[in-house]
Amino acid sequence: MRSSSDVSVHAIWLAQDDPKKNTAVRLSKRGELVLHERFNRLPRRGIILEPLCGKVLGPEDHSLLLEEGGSLVGLDCSWAQIEDSVHQVMKRTKLQPRMLPLLLAANPVNWGKPSKMTTAEALAASLYLVGKEEQARSLLSAFRWGDQFFILNKEPLEAYRDAKSSSELVDLQFEFFDIPRNQ
């Protein structure tokens, strides 16, 4: 159940996946987010989660969601069509694109894979990072695997949330995940 202090959560649904298995559709039915099938209905201010943009959701972005009334928008599309979907959406919105730092998926399809999260997982992770842990947990309570996301990512989520800058947050990824650093 949403409270007045919750971040406004939305998703743009491109209808590329089975709606019966789609996490954004389920959250919409529960009243946890507003699902948009048309671009002209998206919020005008806020952040859109876009995994290819190269700019991580960091502490500098928190005020847009927490103090300035911006919305958090998930891009709900198939991972198989991610590049075309991102291009299609980003040319039609002025929302600020941000990606998440590395986290592990807990959904049954991509369990344990870095960054292959569902829309629900990405939105919940974003809420957690901006200090809205209760709202994040409420989102994922719709799924029997939802709590596993927080268990699987406990240490990185807490470290990312406590980071003082985006660059610190990016550096923290190397402490949790075996990824090559760009030279």
pLDDT given for residue 183 in this prediction:
43
């709590």: which residue's tokens?
147
Tokens read off for 134: 């209760």
Average pLDDT over residues 22-47: 86
Write the pLDDT tens digit of every residue in 101-129.
Answer: 999 999 988 898 887 889 899 999 999 99
**Rounded-to-integer distance, Cα 116 and Cα 101, Å:** 12
Range from 57-61, 67-71, 112-116 carrying the lowest mean pLDDT = 112-116
> Whole-model pTM?
0.89
Residues forming beta bridges with residue 46, ordered by sequence position? 71
Q: What mean pLDDT value characterizes the chain?
A: 86
| CB of 105 closer than 8 Å to CB of 118 | yes
- Phi and psi based region of residue 148 (left: phi greater than 0; alpha: psi -120 to 50; beta: remaining): alpha
Residues 6+ apart with CB under 8 A from 135: 2, 6, 7, 9, 127
**Rounded-to-integer distance, Cα 143 and Cα 23, Å:** 8
**Rounded-to-integer distance, Cα 113 and Cα 36, Å:** 27
Q: Is 170 exposed, middle or buried (0-12, 13-18, 19+ CB in 10 A)?
A: middle
Q: Which residue has the higher pLDDT, 180 or 155?
A: 155
pLDDT given for residue 168 in this prediction:
92
| CB of 79 closer than 8 Å to CB of 15 | no
Which band of pLDDT confidence, cut at 50, 70 and 90, is reported for residue 146? very high
pLDDT given for residue 79 in this prediction:
67
pLDDT given for residue 52 in this prediction:
83
pLDDT given for residue 138 in this prediction:
94
**Closest Cα to residue 163, out of 65, 51, 71, 61?**
61
